[in-house]
Every structure is written in structure tokens, then in C-alpha cells.
Structure 1
């Protein structure tokens, strides 16, 4: 029977993996072949995350929402039949266009959803 590993450490084959959260995102990475090294790495990464010093090595970490919508429109959007996509992308780009895509949170999306729901309501009038 295998011994129970500490929370945040898993073993796959001979390698140990650590798992932790940074800014609400789960991060997993290899920590080597020994349990003691994995424990040290996990403590170090959690401390870096708590201090705000954790910088993952990702490409396009600063790409803006507007750049993503422009690329989508260029590749796919212009071929869509519905005109609603252009309207939605324009409206969303006004709110999120300047923000890096990785910085958009659930709270931002909920705020925009509530704002658009409270927007101008059009009522149909029936002709008699």
C-alpha cells in the first residue's frame, strides 16, 4: 500500500508533481525525483504566489482582448451570416478592449452582463 503524499504533491511514475493556485488558476509542474525536493518546491512556489512574485513563463501574457476579437473577426467572424457577432464584439471591445485577456475576471464579466441587462429596454407597441 502506498504512503499518503502531502496535499499538493502527486507522483506519476518516478516523478513528483506539485499543484498550487495562483490568481485563481491551478498550476501544476514537475518537481523532480525526490519527495523532499517536491516539498521544498511547493513551499517556495506558494510563497512566491502569496508575495505576488510568481511570474509564469507564458507567451502572449499581455495580449489584449481587442487583439483577440480582431483576430477572431479576421479568421471567422466575417464569414458568419448573423450580424449579431459584429455587434457583440464591438460592445465587448468597448468594455474589455484595453485589458489584457488574462486579467479579465469573472467579476468583470458579471458586471458587464448586469450592465447590459439594465440597458435600454425596447418595448414593442402593437398597432390596433
Structure 2
């Protein structure tokens, strides 16, 4: 019998946010990379409510949380470098007026194809592509 090793991790959620013009919001990490915003779930907090809260805190936007488009343990790490289980959702916002908190240096609404190219890492690019598919 083989001994099982359980994956212990934090959970984070990210939002591929589609704006009223069909563009995609990316925020710039202090290291210069473009990422999708989001964050952790607090104890006792519902998943959708947590992502809505994180988006208000990080961007000042109210978003409608839609379907998950990608999950993985290879998308994000915590401050100690340990992998996090990440769920990426498609979100929508009727507003484009972003107010960043101190976690990010800049933001930009990108055309969909440019967002896929600019976002950090191929897997997050896949998340953007999936979020923009209309038949899913």
C-alpha cells in the first residue's frame, strides 16, 4: 500500500474581468508583470463574495462573478513560495473607473487578444481565452 501525501495549500481566486466595451482588465504587479486581480478567501466567507470583496479592495470595481474558467496549482504561489490552489473566474463590470490599492502599480483595459499576450504566463492566457469564449 502506498502512502498518500495530501496537498495542503491556501486557496486564491482571480478575476478575468470583462468591461463594458468587451476589453479585459489587467493590473501590474510591482515586479512589472501584468496579472488578473483577485485574492484569498477568508474563513467563513463564500467564494463569490470573497472575489467580489477582493475586486472592490484591489480595483474599486463591483463585478458580477460568472463561471470558473481555469483551476490549477501552478498559477500562483504565496509569500513563502508555496503553491496555491487557484480558481480563475470570468467576471463582468459595467464600470471602467479603476481605483487601485497598494498591491498593484498600474492597470490597463486591454483588447482581448492583447490581454492574452500580455498576461503573465501561458496558463493565465488560457484563462483569458476561456473567459472570452461565448459558448462556454
Q: TM-score, normalised by structure 2?
A: 0.26
Q: Larger radius of gyration, structure 1 or 2?
A: 1
Higher relative contact order (CA 8 A, sep 6+): 2
Q: TM-score, normalised by structure 1?
A: 0.28
Q: Which protein is richer in strand relative to its size?
A: 2
